[in-house]
Each structure stands twice: as C-alpha cells, then as structure tokens.
Amino acid sequence: MTGSFWLPDGASTLSSEIDSLFHFVNWASIILFVGVVVAIAYLAYRYRRRPGGPAPMRVKPNKMVEISWVVLPTILVLIVFNWGFRLFVEQSVAPPNAYEVYVRGAMWKWDFEYPTGAVTTNELHVPVDRPVRLVMSSADVLHSFFVPAFRVKQDVLPKRYSAVWFEATRVDTFQVFCTEYCGMGHSVMLASVITHSQGDFEAWLASAGVDEDTPLPELGAQLYQQQACIGCHTLDGTEIIGPTFAGLYGKTETLDDGSTVVVDDDYLRESIVDPNAKIVQGYANVPMPAGYTGLSERQLSALIAFIREQQ
Ligand SMILES: [Cu+2]
C-alpha cells in the first residue's frame, strides 16, 4: 500500500481496506459532482430563453427516469453503508489476543503504560504483526489520538475510557497527533509509535523504565522535556504559561490568596503532584494540570533536583 495525496503510507492490517473505501466514496462523489454540474450548465445553455422563441413545452414525467434516480443512488448509498459498517465493526472490536497498553492524554503529552508497569511518555513501543489495543483516558480536557499511518483516530475523554486497536505491519516509527484542539500546546502534543519485531519488543520491554544509573538532575532534565513541563515553564526567566523555573528554588512566592511560601523541596513536590493545593498569584485562571500523579518517587526527586539547579 503506498501513500497518496491524502494520507501517508498505510502500515496496519486495516489501512488498505479503509483507503479503498475512502477512494471509492471520494471518486463516486467527484464523478457525480462533475456529471451534475456539467449537465446543469449544458441544459441551461441549450434551453435558454431566446427573444421571440416559443413558450416552453410542458414536460411529461418519465417513469423510467424517476425510478432510476431513486434506485441508483439508493444502491450506491447501500454499498457505502454496508462496506463502511463492516469496516467500522472490524475496527471497533479488537481481537481477543490483543496486547493492551493504557494511554493517558494530558495537556500536552501522551503517557503509555504497559502490562509490566513500565511507563513511557510520547513514545509508544509496540510489536508488529500482533494486534495492539489502546485503552485511553484523559487527565484534563478532550484530546484525540490519531495515527495517520494506521488510519486510527479516537477521542480521548476525561473520566471515561475509549479504545482503539491496530496491528502494525512493518518496523518503523510513526507520527501520532492530537486532533482535538486542547489549548495552547495542542500543536506540540505529538508522540511516536515505534514498532519492533516481537523479539526486539520483549528486549525493549525488559529494559524499559530502568533508569537507576542516571544521576537525579540529569534524569530531571530528561523528564522536564518528556513530561512536557517545557511547554509551560522556561529555564531562562521568561514567563510562558506557568512561572519560570529560573531562580525559583529558595525564593519567596506569593500565592493567589495573598499568603507567601518559601520555595523548598516540599513545596515543589506538592506543586507537581497536587497543583491545586497552592496556586501562584496571577495564575488562578490557568492553573497547572493535575496530570502528574503517575510519577514515581524517583522521578519526583529528579524533577525537584533539576529545578533546584536552575539558579
Ligand atoms: Cu490534546
């Protein structure tokens, strides 16, 4: 299956059938549209009113014509319905042996949790030639999970699960988009699907989530990017959506209720895991998202160590 003007190369078991249906509907529409417009233009010209011409004749209805313009479009619509419905069912119901990954969308990143407990951010690792089912929910607002190469797109909702499945057909890296406008960072809410052969996938899974050797501040710097803190907090003193991390540690912060706190480790920890507990003055309208409860103690310590270094 090759790519087209509309979509990239298909890379899932269902993509070629979805493309065939799409092209069928698209070309049927183009042919009908052109046919109707050309007929209107020709007939309007051919039977235009001329000065002194005869009055128009009364046209008697023709049964065959009437029947055919009811029956033919109905057949066309039924073909599309039948084809589309079969594909819809196929795409909605994952095969029972599917490998399950939990997906959590948050402003503005994607977390993936595997059955082993390993968690990755903005990188979904899956085996090829095996059905994968994604069970998805959102930590805050509506998002939508879209992998063009697999032809799957599904809304991701807060306080509810939605699911998609696909079976990748080749080893490669594929782009994921968020396709439900979710605020300032919507356009950078990107991720990749990285497909592995079954053996490579098991090897990857065995090593995933092991970060014992990385020093805390370095791990914190990685998390600052991976967890998308970078989208709201700068390191150079500029304010974007949240306060800058530059010079944060040790300073006296004024809160929304007028009280003050000295920024220490406890305050930083609370700001990350329970952002609504204390809101910085001036930020009550856009508080920090509460999507970071899944971080491990080591990850939290790493982020705090990293922020502490931004003096
Ligand atoms: Cu989004």
Instruction: Give the model confidence (pLDDT) of 161-206 as tens digits.
Output: 899 999 999 999 999 999 999 988 899 899 999 999 988 888 888 7
Is the pLDDT at 210 greater than 70? The verdict is: no
pLDDT at 38: 97
Distance 287 CA to ligand 1 centre (A): 17
264 CA to middle of ligand 1, Å? 32
Average pLDDT taken over every residue of the chain: 89
269 to 231, 276, 297, 303: CA distances (angstroms): 19, 12, 10, 9
pLDDT at 80 over 70: yes
* Domain positions in the chain: 15-48+56-92, 99-207, 216-308
Question: Sign of dihedral through CA atoms 267, 221, 124, 210?
Answer: negative
187 CA → ligand 1 middle, Å: 8
pTM, 2 dp: 0.65
- Ligand 1 centroid from CA 51, angstroms: 63
List CB-based neighbours of ion ligand 1 within 5 Å: 143, 178, 182, 189
Q: Is 5 left (phi over 0), alpha (psi -120 to 50) or beta?
A: alpha
**Confidence band for 306, pLDDT divided at 50, 70 and 90:** very high
pLDDT of residue 194: 94
* Contacts for 5-9: CB closer than 8 Å, 24+ residues apart: 7/148, 7/149, 7/151, 8/148, 8/149, 9/149
User: What is the Å distance from ligand 1's center to 181 Cα?
Assistant: 6
| Tens-digit pLDDT profile for residues 284-296 | 778 788 778 778 7
- Quick one: fold of 216-308? Cytochrome Bc1 Complex; Chain D, domain 2 (1.10.760)
In order of 80, 152, 174, the CA distances from 179 in angstroms are 25, 11, 15
The CATH architecture that domain 99-207 belongs to is Sandwich (2.60)
Percent of all residues in the chain with a pLDDT value above 70, rounded to a whole number: 97
pLDDT of residue 169: 93
Distance from residue 283's CA to the centre of ligand 1 (Å): 21
154 has which bridge partners? 145
Query: Would you say 299 and 210 are in contact if contact means Cβ atoms under 8 Å apart?
Result: no
Rounded to the nearest angstrom, the distance between the alpha carbon of 125 and the centre of ligand 1 is 20
CA of 110 to the centre of ligand 1 (A): 9
Distances (CA, A) of 266 to 240, 250, 257, 305: 24, 12, 19, 12
pLDDT in tens, 32-57: 999 999 999 999 998 888 888 777 77
Residue 1: pLDDT above 90? no
